[in-house]
């Protein structure tokens, strides 16, 4: 409902597309974005799901297909980081923090792609866009987990692109100073 997700949703809506605006906690922002999508000529729908949970992703995908009849494009935009003051090195990164960042930044993209693929294949194809970061190409001091997960998103994008193209599904990643990630 905010930032890159909002801009992407509105770009699709301006093209007359139906847009499911997923949110975890920002209900008001998601509902405002959905309303703006409808006003822009598409159909916006705000739907809550914690995409770090594969069962929530499955529910989100199923409800989106039920509502709109199909699913053509997935934008994996969810991401997080945790700043803990005085990160002197990776030794300060706890397993709990690592798991939280990995779960949202990488695992959610994998599980979401896996959930939408059968629907896209049945429709004759589709597109998946994974939003990465410049830090997927360059390290970021004090953000070891974030940097590692954005590298992971780029690797996942490349691997999924090679696999899913066989099913008529394009997989790309953005943004990056190095240019788009394609397979």
- Is residue 9 within 8 Å of residue 44, measured between CB atoms? yes
Indicate which residues carry an active-site annotation. 146
Instruction: Tell me phi and psi for residue 122, to 5 degrees.
Output: -65, -30
Give the start-end residues of each E strand in 69-176.
73-76, 126-131, 169-174
Tokens 């159909």 locate to 43
Distance, in Å, from the CA atom of 146 to the CA atom of 63, rounded to the nearest integer, reads 30
């Amino acid at each position: 409902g905010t930032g890159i997700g909002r801009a992407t949703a509105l770009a699709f809506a301006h093209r007359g597309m139906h847009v499911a605006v997923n949110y975890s906690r920002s209900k008001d922002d998601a509902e405002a974005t959905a309303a703006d999508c409808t006003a822009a000529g598409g159909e916006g729908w705000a739907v809550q799901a914690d995409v770090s949970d594969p069962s929530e992703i499955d529910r989100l995908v199923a409800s989106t297909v039920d509502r709109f009849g199909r699913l053509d494009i997935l934008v994996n935009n969810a991401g997080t980081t945790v700043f803990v003051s005085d990160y002197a090195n990776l030794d300060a990164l706890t397993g709990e923090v690592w798991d939280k960042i990995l779960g949202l930044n990488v695992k959610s993209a994998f599980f979401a792609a896996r959930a939408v693929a059968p629907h896209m294949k049945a429709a004759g194809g589709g597109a998946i866009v994974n939003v990465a970061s410049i830090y997927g190409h360059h390290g970021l001091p004090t953000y070891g987990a974030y940097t590692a997960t954005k590298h992971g998103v780029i690797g996942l994008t490349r691997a999924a692109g090679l696999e899913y193209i066989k099913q008529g599904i394009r997989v790309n990643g953005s943004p990056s100073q190095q240019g788009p990630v394609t397979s």
